Each structure stands twice: as structure tokens, then as C-alpha cells.
Structure 1
Amino acid sequence: MTTAAAGSPAPNPRTLTPTAETVLAFVNTRADGSGRRELFADGDSFAAWLSERQEYGGETVVTDADAAVARELRDALVTVLLAHSGDEDGQGEQLLHAERHLRRAGPLYPLATVVTADGAELASPQTGVPRVFGTVLAAVTTLAQSSDWGRIKACRNPPCHFGFLDRTRNGGGLYCSTGCGSQVSMRKHRRRQRNGGAAPSEA
């Protein structure tokens, strides 16, 4: 979550920075119906996930209520990332609801500025679970101030919605993988076939 010092070369937009990794690791904890399980299902699973990620300050006591808060924050971020990929689920009322939730979260997990000779970073001054959410919001804030933010997207293939860094040259990537893109194309093809082959009374 460190900003570049003056005169430093700009990061390659196709490189996954530590801040982007923090955000993507958090949003990619959802079950998706294709084998990925819910990592924030309850306090135990949330704690197990945290134990593998050192940036959150080590072992933390976590409750089922904390896991529910984590799911709400994560799902709001996924909606914002869907907006980056132009998905309908990231537009309209759903996006407004997600943005309202994130605005409410901000004051609950305030951030501190840490300045060094190498640059400056945002960090959570809190401990325990609040530190976890503050660390995520610090990473989001740092990304939002950079050119990388619009390239952090959620896959448009439902129910995948996997977060990814769009590494395409023009920033027009919509899917986390060629497999997801192929699934969407196949569904559209089958829909066209059904509509084209329907009898007039069925149109």
C-alpha cells in the first residue's frame, strides 16, 4: 500500500501490485458454483483465511458476525469491480447500494498516513478484525488513486464474478479467463439458435 516516491518509474499496468493483490485476494473468497467454496462462511473459515495472510497482523479472534461483515464488504467491492467491466450487476441501484455501503464502512475503519523517505502509505491503526477491514480499504484507496483501479475488474461471466487484473492492451478485458469468455459466447450462441428456430407463435 505504498505510493511511489517522486521520480520513481510508473508501475507496469500489467503487473499485479501488492495493493491489487490484497484487494483481489479479499474479493476472491466467494463460492461460485463451479468448485470454489465460500471462505467467509463463518468465523472459523474467516479465521483460517486470515491465518494464511500476514498483512493483516497475525492471528485474530473472529466471530460469525465478523464473517458476515466481511461478506458484506466483499460483495460491495465485487459490485464495484463489476461496474469496471460494464456488467449489468454493477450498474443502477445495485451499484448505488454498494457505494452507500462502502461510504458507511469508511468512518468505521479510519486510516492513518505513514510517511517515510521512500514514500507514503495508508495503514490501519486499529487491531483485530477492524485492522483487517481497514487494510482492505487502504488497499482499495491506494488503487483508486492510481491508473490501475479501472483495470481491477470482476468477471462478467455469472456466477463466476472472479476478480482479476485486466492485462489487455486497451483495458477492454471482460472475463477472468478464456474459459469464462467461451462460456458466455456459447450461451449467446445457443440463445440465438433457440430464438432463430422458434415458431412464430413462440417468438
Structure 2
Amino acid sequence: MSWIATERFEARTAPAGLALVQELINTHAVERGPGADLLADRAPAQEWLAGAARQWAESRGADAPQVSLSDADVEALRDLRALVVEMLAVPFDERPAGAPGPFAGLTGRAPVVLVSDPQGRVGLMPSGTGLGWLESAVWSEILLAQQSGEWARLKLCRESGCRSAFYDTSRNSSGVWHNVRTCGNIANLRAARDRKKQRTTADGGPGRGGEPAGAQEAADSRGRA
């Protein structure tokens, strides 16, 4: 089984449960490429969430939750996506890490269950069903990723027409495009056109008929002589 939304972009997938957060972001519509918003209506949103929940459960060795959505849930689901996108828009080296400060001013997001294994290790388990479960799972995975350092490697593609989420595995965390062959190539071509335009402007720009400005002025002078 694959992460449906992320697979559309051919983006590198985040490890384990953090891929659920990436998957949520990648449900968005794009100007070109894979197209439709998977959360536009209840039917596609329900299909996406059911698949994402099963994939998350498989990655975490847990039972798949019940994830039925109402029409009102779909709008709240899009709001959740927008909030996480806003968090990822912060440059990776400026994102806060570790536990939050004093409890005053904190915002409640979703309940979770603390669990332990036979070795006494304590972990987080999302609780609830439907949208409530997804909110619990998303915030749990973000917390775990912030503690492990993986949160800084989940990024939004720099290409404005894409903005898909990808997991940066570069050694110095320098990746900026979800796919160098697609969005990276678009950015390079745009930069090359801008450089050519700047050189043309610096040289005086084209004159009438496509000739450089200096050549056109010389021709006009000869005509007046």
C-alpha cells in the first residue's frame, strides 16, 4: 500500500508515522501535474482518509481506526491542512524544537493516550474516530518528529506552483524542491531566462526590428546624413 496523495508528486516519503502529516499536506490541488484537491468533497476526502489511516496503522503496527467523515468534518479537515502548511512554511532552521514553554498561552489541539510496552517504554497513541482521530494522529506525529529532529526535514517545495511536502534526506538539509527533475528544472529555466533578460537590459536592450539599441541609433544617424 502506498501513500496516495504523496505518490502523485513522486516526492520522497517521510519515515514512519510522519508520512501521515506529509500525506495530509499533499492532498492539495496544484496548478499543473496531479491536479485535484482530494479534500474538495466528502466522498474523495473519505476515500483518502481511509487509505491514509490504514497506511499509518501499518507503519506503526497498530489497528486501523474508524474514520467516517461528515460534511462538516471535511471543512475542518481542510482547516487542519492549512494550519500544518503554515507551520511548514517556516524555514526549517527557524522552527522551534523540544517541549513548549510554560503552560500559559498554549492551545489545545487533540487528546492522545499514553501507552507502555513490556519493557516499560512510554509512547503516544492517537485517540478518537474520524476527524478526531486524524487530528490526534497528526499532532502526535509532529510532536514525535520535533523530538527526533525529523520535523526540520519535512519541507514544502520551493516552486510556487507546487508547494508539495517532501522529506529532505540531503546531508546538510539543503533540499528545496520535491523533485529536481520537475520543479528544480522549472526553477533553473526561469532563472536562466531572468539572467538573459538582465544581460539584454544591461547591453541597452533590443532596438526596433530586434537590433541592439546602439546599432539602431547608428543606422538612424546614417539615414540623416
TM-score range (shorter-chain normalised) is 0.7 to 0.9
The whole-number CA distance in structure 1 between the counterparts of 2:106 and 2:81 is: 11
Aligned to 2:18: 20
Unaligned runs of at least 5 residues, structure 1 = 1-13, 92-103
Question: What's the TM-score, normalizing by structure 2?
Answer: 0.67
Aligned to 1:48: 47
The whole-number CA distance in structure 2 between the counterparts of 1:19 and 1:58 is: 14
Q: 1:80 and 2:87 equivalent?
A: yes
1:113-167 per-residue CA deviation (whole Å, 9 max, x = no partner) reads: 2122353322222222211111111111111111211111111111211111101
Unaligned runs of at least 5 residues, structure 2 = 1-11, 58-63, 96-104, 206-225
Q: 1:139 and 2:141 equivalent?
A: yes
- 1:121 aligned counterpart, secondary structure: strand
1:14-71 per-residue CA deviation (whole Å, 9 max, x = no partner) reads: 9842122111111111111123221111211110112213247445331232122111
Cα distance change of structure 1 residues 112 and 130 upon mapping to structure 2, 3 Å threshold: same
Select the structure with the greater relative contact order (CA < 8 A; seq sep ≥ 6): 1
Q: 1:161 and 2:163 equivalent?
A: yes
Task: Give the alignment's Cα RMSD to 1 decimal.
Answer: 2.8
**Aligned letter for 2:167?**
L
The whole-number CA distance in structure 1 between the counterparts of 2:84 and 2:38 is: 16
Paired-residue identity, %? 26
Aligned to 1:186: 189
- 2:148 aligned counterpart, secondary structure: coil
How many residue pairs align between the two structures? Answer: 172
Q: Is the 8 A contact 2:14 2:166 kept in 1?
A: no
Q: Is the 8 A contact 2:88 2:156 kept in 1?
A: yes
